[in-house]
Amino acid sequence: MARLLDGKALAARLRATLAARVAALPFEPGLVVVRVGEDPASGVYVRNKDRAAREAGFASRTLHLPEATTEAELLATIASLNADDRVDGILVQLPLPAHVNTQAAIAAVDPVKDVDGFHPLNAGRLASGLPGLVPCTPRGVMHLLAESGARLRGARALVLGRSQIVGRPMAQLLLGADCTVTVAHSRTDDLGAECRRADILVAAVGRAEMVKGGWIKPGAVVVDVGINRRADGTLCGDVAFGEAGHAAAITPVPGGVGPMTIACLLENTLDAAIARRMAA
Ligand code: NDP
């Protein structure tokens, strides 16, 4: 039976460690989440982030702007947060309404406050192997892999998905940990064959239970980033969890990567707060 990588418990431990570090600071690190419009899933995510941040002692607030907010108005809001010394981290919740250019909003955030790690400068630093703010979900996956005890150096890692948010930065982090990395996507010829070679398999596709048991190498460590809703309303990942008993370890959905993403947002905010004050 595969070992369960309990992201909920690991995230609780990480949040407790961060809370202790925050309590020892002479200031409260400030996080602002900017939400535009009424995307229902975003509402849940933003509330969860805000609650976790407050519980850990961060000065957290959410700016909820109306759906009709123009791109210029959003960019002006971000500019004022960039200039606000009390704000250490800025997160623009995605997706944005269609009339707003997402890349423009991402690029407007001051890279030193970019706690989502999506700014091209931080993406470039990661790709160059330089320190910087790293996207929260891949950072959380690295914590889970450390917890699994898996040997990363020299291991074959397969990242399924190549998005700016998960797949690409995930591949860079695994490369930085000396894995031999393959990135697969919707144009990959034989996904099953690529997966079967992987000692470390990170699935970030958004297709319910697409990774079948027969695609998983015996003894592999499987991290399932996907969050999908079945027809009956229940959640599942990108991996057929019930067929993965021969893996060494696997994350559940829910309760795997999701809680780690939020904990790593707090970790990034604390990193950003300390780095900004050290630079001042
Ligand atoms: P995107 O839709 O941006 O990217 C999906 C990737 O999967 C793309 O690279 C795409 O390939 C690839 N893909 C899609 N369909 C297939 C297929 N049939 N075969 C092979 N590859 C395929 O999604 P995200 O990266 O933003 O998110 C992925 C999943 O992770 C989603 O379920 C999302 O909800 C979840 N997620 C979970 C988080 C968490 O905290 N747990 C955080 C962020 C995301 P191509 O590039 O060729 O189109």
C-alpha 26: how far from chain center: 28
- Start-to-end C-alpha separation, the chain: 52
Centroid of ligand 1 to alpha carbon of 251 (angstroms): 17
Confidence at residue 57, expressed as pLDDT on a 0 to 100 scale: 98
Band of the pLDDT at 21, cuts 50, 70, 90? very high
**258 touches ligand 1 (CB under 6 Å):** yes
Buried b (16+ CB within 10 A) or exposed e, 243-273: ebeebbbbbbbebbbbbbbbbbbbbbbbbbb
Please state, in angstroms and rounded to a whole number, the distance separating the CA atoms of residues 135 and 11: 16
Query: Is 280 a residue whose pLDDT tops 90?
Result: no
Q: Which residue has the tokens 């970790």?
A: 267
Choose which residue among 5, 42, 94, 185 to substitute to test ligand 1 binding: the one with the highest number of ligand atoms within 8 A of its C-beta: 185
Please state, in angstroms and rounded to a whole number, the distance separating the CA atoms of residues 190 and 264: 33
Verify cis geometry, omega within 30 degrees of 0, for the bond prior to 254: yes
Centroid of ligand 1 to alpha carbon of 238 (angstroms): 9
What is the average pLDDT across 233-241? 97
**225 touches ligand 1 (CB under 6 Å):** yes
Which secondary-structure segment (H or E) carries 16?
helix 7-23
Q: Clarify whether 85 is annotated catalytic.
A: no
Max Cα-Cα span within the chain: 54
Q: Which residue has the tokens 């039976």?
A: 1
Q: Which residue has the tokens 């000065």?
A: 59
Q: What is the Cβ-side half-sphere exposure of residue 32, based on CA atoms within 13 angstroms?
A: 21
Please state, in angstroms and rounded to a whole number, the distance separating the CA atoms of residues 4 and 230: 22
Choose which residue among 189, 227, 229, 264 to substitute to test ligand 1 binding: the one with the highest number of ligand atoms within 8 A of its C-beta: 227
pLDDT in tens, 152-184: 999 999 999 999 999 999 999 999 999 999 999
Catalytic: which of 93, 217, 238, 271? 93
Q: Which two tokens stand for residue 173?
A: 């982090």
Q: Is the pTM of this model over 0.95?
A: yes
Q: Which of 195, 205, 181, 173 is nearest to 244 (CA)?
A: 195
Catalytic: which of 88, 116, 224, 271? 116
Domains and CATH numbers, the chain: 27-110 (3.40.50.10860), 136-258 (3.40.50.720)
**268 touches ligand 1 (CB under 6 Å):** no
Confidence at residue 79, expressed as pLDDT on a 0 to 100 scale: 98
Centroid of ligand 1 to alpha carbon of 161 (angstroms): 5
Q: What is the Cβ-side half-sphere exposure of residue 224, based on CA atoms within 13 angstroms?
A: 32
Contact 158, 185 (CB under 8 A): no
Confidence at residue 175, expressed as pLDDT on a 0 to 100 scale: 98
Confidence at residue 106, expressed as pLDDT on a 0 to 100 scale: 98
**140 touches ligand 1 (CB under 6 Å):** no
For the chain, state the CA radius of gyration.
19
What is the average pLDDT across 195-218? 98
**49 touches ligand 1 (CB under 6 Å):** no
Centroid of ligand 1 to alpha carbon of 62 (angstroms): 26
Q: Clarify whether 49 is annotated catalytic.
A: yes
Please state, in angstroms and rounded to a whole number, the distance separating the CA atoms of residues 172 and 158: 12
